[in-house]
Copies of this chain bind each other. A is one copy, B any other.
Amino acid sequence: MQMNDMILVSVDDHIIEPPTVFANALPKKWVDRAPRLVYDPKSKLQIWTWEGGITLTPFINAVVTLPRDEWGFDPSTIAEMRPGCYDVDARIRDMDANGILASMCFPSFAGMAGTFFGKAEDKELAYACLQAYNDWHLDEWCGRYPGRFIPLPVGVIWDPELAAKEVRRVARKGATAITFCEETEALGYPSIHDGAWDPLFAACVDEGVMLAIHIGSALSGMPGRDSWPMDVRVTLPCWNSLSCAANFLWCKSLQKFPDLRIALSEGGTSWIPGFLDRMERHYDNQKWTGADLGGLTPTEMFRRHFLACFICDPSGLLLRDRIGIDNIAYEVDYPHSDCTFPSSPEELWEHVELAKLDDQEIYKIGWENACRWLRFDPFAHVPRERATVGALRARAADVDLRTRSRAEYKKEYEAAHGAIS
């Protein structure tokens, strides 16, 4: 196989939500109370605001193709970023240019686990807006390009029964995944350890919906401290998936729901071999805890329930056999600073060669695992011969991939849409 023959599905990218999220799907009754993106002329920032509070960083880390010295400071308005961040037509062209067949996109202002919606006191309003958000995601973002997005509606984080209801609702609309959080308790919601979330897990199993848990969705696991250098605070959250996986592995609910599937998003894979070594030895050795995995080993439990993914992870690929070749997927992380756009295939290929993956392994990690776990048929709308890196890129030769400053993007935006005010 050559690099251009790969087929790539990314299970972790991000949408910067445009101001029109609640324009179409929200019942009239709630329109005046919906979250809205407003511009504050004093601070020159756009923020999402409603009676549940504000999101000061709606454009978090949307730095793709910005010059590196502009990273670390989020764009102040939606005008100051690459249109692929928020405009689905532009996103598709960027996916083509990067050789990506399909993408699963997490929210931005809504929070990686939809925590924004949980903050309104009026839970009827909260759920109405969450549903409208999900309908926008399903119908207007994913629906506009069939076969190019794996839908990822946001889950209800404040109420397990309502979370189950929403799973059943979005499943009827074709969703096969929904967001959940690394540690509900860290957000003040019930623990997964006391059975409180079993209604959600049952609905996911019934409907064939996978939980997608993104690092940073609870900021537990590896908490930072203000005194720590930025380099510590932005690198450690990658290992939050480890803490999350440990909690699920030893959670009794996982045995109650053998078909529950969980995506550990942006958590990387290189920690998994050592994690499994450790859990195997612990389970063999420390019988006093009374842990009982119902006849399975920790490795078997992990492989039954978890799909891990990576952006750049040479050490994980080298030990793919100890992780489980069927449990690894690929991600781009567009439009964040860790993403490999527009050279994702090149960066992946370097590590594919280092780890000497064979063709079958490249397919599994590139798209087959993602599509099987997420019940996504990548060739239903795009014929296979047009789905490869080479074929997608061939039709996107005119996409401008130059580095441009926030000011340049802003100028282009204002020329097309007028100034944000």
Report which A residues bind B (CB closer than 8 A): 68-73, 185, 191, 193-194, 221-223, 225, 227-232, 234-236, 238-239, 242-243, 246-247, 249-251, 268-271, 273-279, 281-283, 285-289, 291, 312-316, 318-319, 322, 337-338
* Contact indicator A223/B223 (Cβ below 8 Å): yes
- How many angstroms from the CA of A43 to the CA of B314 in the assembled complex? 54
The contact of A312 among B72, B269, B271, B277, by CB within 8 Å, is: B277
Residue numbers in B under 8 Å from A223 (CB-CB): 223
List 30 interface pairs A-B (beta carbons < 8 Å), by A numbering: A68-B287, A71-B287, A71-B288, A72-B288, A72-B289, A185-B225, A191-B225, A193-B228, A223-B223, A228-B247, A229-B247, A229-B291, A231-B283, A231-B289, A232-B243, A232-B250, A234-B289, A235-B278, A236-B242, A236-B243, A236-B246, A239-B271, A268-B278, A270-B274, A270-B275, A270-B277, A274-B316, A281-B312, A281-B338, A315-B322
| A268 with B279: CB separation less than 8 A | no
> Which of B73, B194, B337 interacts with A285 by CB under 8 Å?
B337
What is the CB-to-nearest-CB distance from A261 to chain B, in angstroms, rounded to a whole number? 20
Query: What residue of chain B has the Cβ atom nearest to residue A191's Cβ?
Result: B227
Which 5 interchain pairs have the tightest Cβ spacing?
A270-B274, A72-B288, A273-B315, A231-B250, A229-B250
**Given contacts A227-B185, A274-B271, A287 and B238 within 8 Å (CB-CB):** no
* A319-B318 in contact (CB<8A): yes
Contact A277 B221, beta carbon cutoff 8 Å: no
Q: Which of B72, B232, B312 contacts A247 (CB 8 A)?
A: B232
A285 to chain B, nearest CB (A): 7
With A247-B232, A315-B319, A318-B319 already in contact, the answer to whether A69 and B239 are too (CB < 8 A) is no
Consensus secondary structure, chain A interface = helix
For A269, the chain B residues whose CB sits under 8 A away are 274
Q: Within the assembled complex, what's the spacing in Å between the Cα atoms of A322 and B270?
A: 12
B278–A274 CB distance below 8 A: no
Indicate whether A222 sits within 8 Å of B225 (C-beta atoms), given known contacts A68-B288, A315-B274, A337-B286: no
Chain B residues closer than 8 Å to A337, beta-carbon distance = 285-286
A274 to B323, CA, bound (A): 13
Q: Which residue of B lies closest to A276 (CB)?
A: B315
- A252 CA / B273 CA spacing, docked (Å): 32
Known: A71-B288, A229-B247, A231-B250. 20 other contacts (CB 8 A): A71-B286, A71-B287, A72-B288, A73-B288, A185-B225, A185-B227, A191-B227, A222-B222, A228-B247, A229-B251, A231-B282, A231-B289, A235-B279, A239-B242, A270-B275, A270-B278, A271-B271, A274-B316, A318-B322, A319-B319
Residues of B within 8 A of A232 (CB): 243, 246-247, 250
A347–B168 alpha-carbon span in the complex (Å): 49
Q: Which residues of B sit under 8 angstroms from A312, Cβ to Cβ?
A: 277, 281
Residues on the B chain within 8 Å of A236, using CB: 242-243, 246
CB neighbours (8 Å) of A338 from chain B are 281, 285
Instruction: Give A278 to B316 CA distance when docked, in angstroms.
Output: 11
List chain B residues, Cβ under 8 A from A291: 229-231
A194 touches B227 (CB 8 A): yes
Name the residue of chain B whose CB is nearest to the CB of A283.
B231
CA distance A231 to B279 in the complex (A): 9
Report Cα–Cα, A316/B236, bound state, in Å: 20
Contacts of A238 in B (CB 8 A): 278
- Distance of A242 Cα from B319 Cα, bound (Å): 19
- Nearest CB in chain B to that of A314: its residue: B277
CA of A71 to CA of B285, assembled, Å: 10
Chain B residues near A185 (CB, 8 Å)? 225, 227
CB distance from A274 to the nearest CB of B (A): 3
A191 to chain B, nearest CB (A): 5
Say which residue of B221, B270, B278, B287 sits within 8 Å of A69 (CB atoms): B287
